[in-house]
Amino acid sequence: MLKGIAKRLSRPWFVSLLRIGLGLVFIAASLDKIQNPQLFADNIANYRAIPYPLINPIAVTLPWVEFVAGSLLVMGIWSRANALILSGMLVLFSLAILQALLRNLDISCGCFSTDPEAHEMTRWTLYLNLIWLWWGISVALVDQGRYTAAGALAWARKRMRYQP
Amino acid sequence: MKKIIGQIVVVFVFSAALALLVNGVRKGGIPLVTPFPPEYQCPSRMTEGRSMPVNEALKQHGREGAAFVDARAKASYDRGHIQDAISLPYSFLDPVPPEAVDRLSKYRRIVVYCNSEREERSRLMAGELSEAGLHEVSYLEGGFLDWIKAGGPYTGQKPLGHEQ
Average pLDDT on A2-23 reads: 78
Instruction: Tell me which chain B residues have a C-beta less than 8 angstroms from the C-beta of A56.
Output: 30-34
Q: What angle do CA B77, B81, B86 make, to 5 degrees?
A: 75
Read off the pLDDT band of B36 (50, 70, 90). low
pLDDT of residue B41: 47
Residue A104 has pLDDT above 80, yes or no: no
Residue B159: closest C-alpha in chain A: A117
* Domain interval for residue A144: 2-162
Instruction: Tell me which chain A residues have a C-beta less than 8 angstroms from the C-beta of B32.
Output: 56-57, 60
Instruction: For residue range B128-143, list pLDDT tens digits in order.
Output: 898 888 888 999 998 9
Residue B111 has pLDDT above 80, yes or no: yes
pLDDT of residue B75: 85
| HSE-up (13 A, CA, CB side) for residue B110 | 30
C-alpha separations of A94 from A129, B11, B74 in Å: 6, 22, 29
Residue A105: closest C-alpha in chain B: B120
Residue B19 has pLDDT above 50, yes or no: yes
Residue A88 has pLDDT above 90, yes or no: yes
pLDDT of residue A116: 64
Contacts of A12 (CB under 8 A, 6+ apart): A144, A146, A147
Average pLDDT on A40-62 reads: 88
pLDDT of residue A118: 64
**Residue length, chain A?**
164
| Coil/strand/helix, residue B124 | helix
Average pLDDT on B107-123 reads: 87
Of A115 and B113, the one with more pLDDT: B113
Share of chain B above pLDDT 70, in %: 90
Residue A139 has pLDDT above 80, yes or no: yes
Q: Is A36 on the interface with B (CB under 8 A)?
A: yes
**How far away is chain B from the Cα of A164, in angstroms, using its nearest Cα?**
38
Of A20 and B41, the one with more pLDDT: A20
pLDDT of residue B38: 44
| A48·B44 Cβ contact <8 A | yes
Interface test with B, best of A61, A73, A99, A111 (most B CBs within 10 A): A61
On whether ipTM exceeds 0.95, the answer is no
Share of chain A above pLDDT 70, in %: 90
| HSE-up (13 A, CA, CB side) for residue A116 | 28
Q: Return d(Cα B30, Cα B20) in angstroms, integer.
A: 10
Beta strand spans in chain A (E): none
What is the identity of the amino acid at B12?
F
Of A6 and B141, the one with more pLDDT: B141
Average pLDDT, chain B: 85
Q: Is B120 on the interface with A (CB under 8 A)?
A: yes
Q: Give the number of domains in chain A.
A: 1
Instruction: Tell me which chain A residues have a C-beta less than 8 angstroms from the C-beta of B35.
Output: 53
Average pLDDT on B104-120 reads: 88
Instruction: For residue range A75-87, list pLDDT tens digits in order.
Output: 988 889 999 999 9
Of B56 and A158, the one with more pLDDT: B56
Highest mean pLDDT among A116-125, B44-53, B65-74: B65-74
- With a CB-CB cutoff of 8 Å, which residues 15-44 of chain B face chain A? 15-16, 18-20, 22-23, 28-36, 44
**How far away is chain A from the Cα of B5, in angstroms, using its nearest Cα?**
7
Q: Is A42 on the interface with B (CB under 8 A)?
A: yes
Average pLDDT, chain A: 84
